[in-house]
């Protein structure tokens, strides 16, 4: 044991041995580029927020809209803190050099996202006290996961795509000009973060037993349950903001499916059955938990719709993960030679 009872650590001389960790050379190169792209596309949260407020004026919204936005963006703010903690853990625990670099870059991004979103919501007067119960359960499930694969699957392939969806939808609504101009900076970063899971999870899964893989899929089903229930808890606030909860969750699930397809591309994993189960289960949950914008179907209609989803008659389609962000949308990103 080392200082204060912590386990002793040695110098990781094998961190460059990709074959030992099942990491393909192509994936390793992509992971290393994530770090360098993060460095080149870094931005100063304090500077960006200050500049946007100078140009657009102090953020203001009607009281009811402000409160709803604060509750919805509680998932973003506290989610960024969870992502910061998890990516810092991954930077320490991942073995290969390239994966460690990518996780280190993400930890830097997530710290910036957390303090910048807190500062924005504080300026708006909408800092959230707590998360919705199920949103908190979802984040805690990932933070306390007992396997690196679960942390990568949960954060990079489940939580990050939902964040990308919320950023995109709220940006298009143009609720408040400072927020509208701030969100593309988040989108650009989060798209890189998904790549860490896509590029390194196959190496982790190749060394997992069948029992561990089944446990990973059950873990994912639990996250989907918490995700749908958290959307149910925030549905009223989303409707006040003009965000259709059913559309938001279906797009978010579509991005998750796209991430899973990228994860399995070119790898010999049995993927069709678990992805189909995830798709059908999520569709049934959506039918049973999330309200429609118009009308209020009877319980029997909801049950019928859920049954159709379980039978695969109304499956969700993958949605592109790449955000619609142009260079002119993020003019304050520092350029590093």
Would you say residue 313 lies in a domain? Answer: yes
C-alpha atoms less than 13 angstroms from C-alpha of 167 in its C-beta half-sphere: 29
Would you say residue 23 lies in a domain? Answer: no
Cβ neighbors of 336 (< 8 A, separation 6 or more) are 39, 40, 42
Assess contact for 45 and 115: CB atoms under 8 A.
Answer: yes
- Distance CA(72)–CA(234), nearest Å, equals 6
Taking the alpha carbons of 220, 221, 225, 227 in that order, is the dihedral positive or negative? Answer: positive
Q: What percent of the chain has pLDDT over 90?
A: 35
Residue 302 burial class via C-beta count within 10 angstroms: exposed 0-12, middle 13-18, buried 19 and up: middle
Q: What percent of the chain has pLDDT over 70?
A: 93
Nearest residue to 65 via CA among 208, 228, 237, 247: 237
**Which domain covers residue 225, as residue numbers?**
43-323
CATH number at residue 146: 1.20.1260.10
Would you say residue 334 lies in a domain? Answer: no
Angle among Cα 65, 70, 75 to the nearest 5 degrees reads: 135
Answer whether residue 293 shows pLDDT above 70. no
Would you say residue 95 lies in a domain? Answer: yes
Joined together, the tokens standing for residue 250 give 């279906």
Most confident of 214-223, 306-315, 322-331: 214-223
Would you say residue 9 lies in a domain? Answer: no
Q: How many domains does the chain have?
A: 1
Nearest residue to 250 via CA among 273, 275, 284: 284
Would you say residue 255 lies in a domain? Answer: yes
pLDDT in tens, 233-249: 888 898 898 888 888 88
Answer whether residue 273 shows pLDDT above 80. no
Would you say residue 30 lies in a domain? Answer: no
Assess contact for 174 and 105: CB atoms under 8 A.
Answer: no
Nearest residue to 289 via CA among 311, 306, 276, 309: 306
Joined together, the tokens standing for residue 194 give 């998904």
- Distance CA(149)–CA(102), nearest Å, equals 15
Would you say residue 107 lies in a domain? Answer: yes
Answer whether residue 258 shows pLDDT above 90. no
- Distance CA(244)–CA(231), nearest Å, equals 10
pLDDT of residue 336: 39
- Distance CA(265)–CA(261), nearest Å, equals 6
Joined together, the tokens standing for residue 301 give 């209609």
Joined together, the tokens standing for residue 304 give 């019928």
- Distance CA(18)–CA(222), nearest Å, equals 32
Q: How many CB atoms lie within 10 A of CB 112?
A: 21
């Amino acid at each position: 044991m080392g200082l204060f009872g912590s386990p002793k650590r040695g110098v990781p001389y094998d961190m460059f041995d990709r074959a030992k960790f099942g990491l393909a050379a192509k994936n390793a190169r992509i992971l290393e580029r994530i770090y360098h792209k993060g460095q080149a596309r870094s931005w100063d949260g304090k500077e960006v927020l200050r500049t946007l407020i100078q140009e657009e004026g102090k953020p203001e919204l009607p009281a009811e809209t402000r409160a709803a936005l604060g509750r919805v963006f509680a998932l973003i703010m506290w989610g960024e803190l969870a992502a910061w903690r998890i990516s810092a853990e991954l930077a320490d625990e991942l073995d290969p050099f390239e994966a460690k670099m990518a996780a280190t870059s993400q930890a830097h991004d997530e710290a910036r996202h957390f303090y910048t979103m807190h500062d924005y919501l504080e300026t708006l007067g909408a800092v959230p006290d707590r998360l919705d119960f199920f949103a908190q359960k979802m984040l805690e499930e990932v933070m306390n996961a007992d396997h690196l694969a679960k942390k990568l699957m949960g954060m990079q392939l489940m939580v990050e795509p939902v964040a990308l969806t919320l950023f995109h939808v709220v940006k298009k609504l143009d609720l408040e000009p400072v927020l509208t101009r701030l969100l593309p900076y988040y989108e650009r970063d989060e798209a890189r973060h998904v790549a860490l899971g896509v590029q390194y999870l196959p190496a982790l899964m190749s060394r997992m037993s069948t029992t561990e893989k089944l446990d990973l899929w059950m873990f994912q089903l639990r996250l989907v349950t918490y995700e749908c229930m958290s959307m149910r808890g925030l549905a009223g606030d989303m409707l006040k903001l003009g965000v259709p909860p059913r559309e938001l969750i279906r797009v978010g699930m579509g991005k998750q499916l796209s991430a899973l397809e990228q994860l399995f591309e070119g790898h010999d994993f049995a993927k069709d059955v678990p992805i189909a189960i995830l798709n059908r289960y999520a569709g049934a949950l959506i039918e049973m938990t999330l309200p429609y914008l118009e009308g209020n179907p009877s319980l029997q209609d909801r049950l019928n719709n859920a049954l159709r989803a379980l039978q695969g008659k109304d499956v969700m389609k993958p949605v592109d993960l790449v955000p619609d962000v142009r260079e002119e949308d993020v003019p304050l990103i520092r350029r590093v030679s």
